[in-house]
Chain A
Amino acid sequence: MSGEFDIELPLLLEAIHRKYSYDFRSYAISSLRRRLEQALEHFGCRSLSALQERVLREPEVMRGLLAHLTVQVSEMFRDPSFYLVLRQQVVPYLRTYPSLKLWIPGCATGEEVYSLAILLREEGLLDRSIIYATDINPEALRKAEAGIYELDRIADFSKAYCEAGGRGSLSDYYTAGYNAAVFDKSLRQGVLFSDHSLATDSVFAEVQLVTCRNVLIYFDRVLQDRAVALFRDSLCRKGFLALGAQETLAFSIHAAEFSEFVREEKIYQRR
């Protein structure tokens, strides 16, 4: 069983790449295998070959598969201590720039974008900031742009906002509808939501901060190195790179091009 799966896997990824230009060939294998097993079940396919047949001929199957391959999981102010350190130790540097550009690759459904926008607003920096929020999943980008989240998630978000050093109440930034919280659209006035792949696209702007949290964990080391090179080439000298709580540059070929700024929070600074 698993023998055939492993033979078919690279063939499927190659087919997806040739037909749709989505490149999953260098993703971390064990996570990818899990997600494809789930996709097989979802589509009722016996094998990856059967799935490949459908993916090549039915674009809507590719759309569905994309949702499986790029699971959208995010939260506002995930790891509050990270946002606290960002506020207390990185913001003082950001303040010295007359205008700011920030990049959030793999922004998923936008929770991180609104978290950062709120933080910048409270620090008086949002008006002079441009935030590039990018992802490869168009459905996620649409949701990110809408900025509407289910009401039952808001209690957790509010708690994290406070722990992250929030100056007011999270409710200052949204209006509660029947079942959803609609975030204030002025928060995204300076945000550009756009399709961009860390696997296939290139640098598009010079930025002072990249926050790319829990995206690199889905890549193998070669693709991680590609992504980190993009971050390096996008960042100005002394610009900041923030990774997820369990991510590190320690195993990257580009490790020496960054210094550790706040080790515990995985915040790096370009040399």
Chain B
Amino acid sequence: MGSLIPASQTQGPQAILVGGSAGASEVVSLVLGALPADFATPIVVVIHLPRHRPSALAGALGGKCRLALREPLDKEPLAPATVYLAPPDYHLLIDPGPSFALSVDAPVNFSRPSIDVLFRSAAHVLGPGCAGVLVSGASPDGAHGLRAIQQAGGLVAIQDPNDAAQAAMPEAARALCPDAPILSAQGISQWVQQLSAWQTSPRRGAI
């Protein structure tokens, strides 16, 4: 598999954002499980969950993941080697810092947390410094946010709708980001690993 990172990108992302709903936790747990304990780039995950259900996700994902995994508190700065899970019943946003911000504003696309809300704020605050990926889901949430990341110069990827348990979310994303790479779950896993490998490789000085 060749490099997925366009040569025009000169710096690794400050954060990798992952969104999904139905059928997403299997993919996300595959992606997280493959990452080394020193994977530097913070990862922020929004998966739609039934409201009021205490986040069972941390348990489901935590087992296989070698990185620290937690729900961020308001104003918490993004730290390396950490996976952040959006807490149930709040929107999660990125503020300058970058640090996390929360809101209880009305649901978007019937969802709180909404992937669009996270992705748009990250696109605005981090610009080309964020990367976004959308995986399996039965909702159109996230597609506009993914486009915002792409327009801000960030890298994006979409799970192949044929590979996803639920195709609606990746389909919606593909319609808005027609030139985004379409990858299998395995492909997404490699894509995420490359993002960090490329960031942590030492910079060569000018000769």
Q: B-contacting residues of A (Cβ < 8 Å)?
A: 2, 28-31, 33-35, 71, 73, 214, 216-218, 220-221, 224, 244-248, 250-251
CB distance from A24 to the nearest CB of B (A): 14
Residues B106 and A73 in contact, CB atoms below 8 Å apart: yes
Say whether B87 contacts A251, CB under 8 Å: no
Do B105 and A29 touch across chains, with their CB atoms under 8 A apart? no
In the complex, are the beta carbons of B125 and A217 less than 8 A apart?
A: no
- Interface flag for B163 (CB, 8 Å): no
Q: Does B75 sit at the interface, judged by CB under 8 A? A: yes
Contact of B101 among A30, A244, A250 (CB under 8 A): A30
In whole Å, how far is A19's beta carbon from the nearest beta carbon of chain B?
25
Partner of B74, one of A2, A29, A73, A216: A216
| B121 lies within 8 A of chain A by Cβ | yes
Instruction: Give the nearest-CB partner of B98 in chain A.
Output: A30
Residues of B at the A interface (CB closer than 8 Å) are 71-76, 87, 90, 93-96, 101-106, 117, 120-121, 124-125
Report the minimal beta-carbon distance from B183 to chain A, rounded to whole angstroms. Answer: 29
Say which residue of A30, A35, A71, A220 sits within 8 Å of B94 (CB atoms): A30
In whole angstroms, how far apart are the Cα atoms of A73 and B94 in the complex? 21
CB distance from B117 to the nearest CB of A (A): 7
Cβ contact within 8 Å between A31 and B101: yes
Q: Which B residues lie within 8 Å of A251 (CB)? A: 75-76
> Which residue in chain B gives the minimum CB-CB distance to A108?
B104
B72 surroundings in chain A (CB, below 8 A) = 246
A30-B74 contact, Cβ under 8 Å, with A73-B105, A218-B103: no
**Given A30-B101, A33-B124, 11 extra CB contacts under 8 A:** A28-B101, A29-B95, A73-B106, A217-B102, A217-B103, A217-B104, A246-B72, A246-B74, A246-B102, A247-B73, A250-B73
Tell me, in angstroms, the Cα distance from A34 to B103 when the chains sit together.
Answer: 11
CB pair B121 A246 closer than 8 Å: no
Question: Within 8 Å CB of A216, what residues of B?
Answer: 74
Q: Looking across the interface, which residue of chain B has its beta carbon closest to that of A214? A: B104
Q: List 19 A-B contacts (CB under 8 A).
A: A28-B95, A29-B95, A29-B96, A30-B121, A31-B103, A31-B105, A34-B105, A34-B120, A71-B105, A73-B105, A214-B104, A221-B75, A246-B72, A246-B74, A247-B74, A247-B102, A248-B76, A250-B73, A251-B76
Which residue of chain B has the shortest Cβ distance to A160 in the bound complex?
B52
Q: How far is the CA of A71 from the CA of B103 in the complex (A)?
A: 10
A248: chain B residues within 8 A (beta carbon) = 73-76
Decide yes or no: A246 and B105 within 8 Å by CB, A30-B124, A34-B117 being known contacts: no
In the complex, what residues of A have CB within 8 A of residue B103's CB?
31, 34, 217-218
A30 and B73 contact, CB distance less than 8 A? no
Kindly list chain A residues whose C-beta atoms are within 8 Å of the C-beta of B106. Answer: 71, 73
B73–A34 CB distance below 8 A = no
Q: Report the separation of the CA atoms of residues A248 and B120 in the bound assembly, to the nearest whole angstrom.
A: 25
Instruction: Name the B residues within 8 Å of A246 (CB-CB).
Output: 71-74, 87, 90, 102
Which chain A positions have C-beta within 8 A of B102?
Answer: 217, 246-247
Contact A73 B104 (CB under 8 A): yes
Question: Measured between alpha carbons, how far is A217 from B89 in the docked complex, in Å?
Answer: 14
CB neighbours (8 Å) of B104 from chain A are 73, 214, 217
Contacts of B90 in A (CB 8 A): 217, 246
Chain A residues with Cβ below 8 Å from B95 are: 28-30, 220
Distance between Cα atoms of A222 and B95 in the complex (Å): 14
Q: Whose C-beta in chain B lies nearest to the C-beta of A251?
A: B75
Q: Compute how far the CA of A104 lies from the CA of B76 in the bound complex, rounded to whole angstroms.
A: 25
- B101 contacts across to A, CB distance below 8 A: 28, 30-31, 217
Task: List A contacts of B71 (CB < 8 A).
Answer: 246
Please measure, in the bound complex, the distance between the C-alpha atom of A245 and the C-alpha atom of B117, giving whole angstroms: 20
Q: Given the complex of chains A and B, what is the CA–CA distance between A216 and B120 in angstroms? A: 22
Looking at the assembled complex, report how far the CB atom of A3 sits from the nearest CB atom of chain B, in whole angstroms: 11
Q: Across the interface, which residues of A come within 8 angstroms of B76, CB to CB?
A: 248, 251
The CA of A35 and the CA of B105, in the complex, are separated in Å by 9
Nearest CB of B to A112, in Å: 12
CB distance from B34 to the nearest CB of A (A): 29
Contacts of A33 in B (CB 8 A): 121, 124
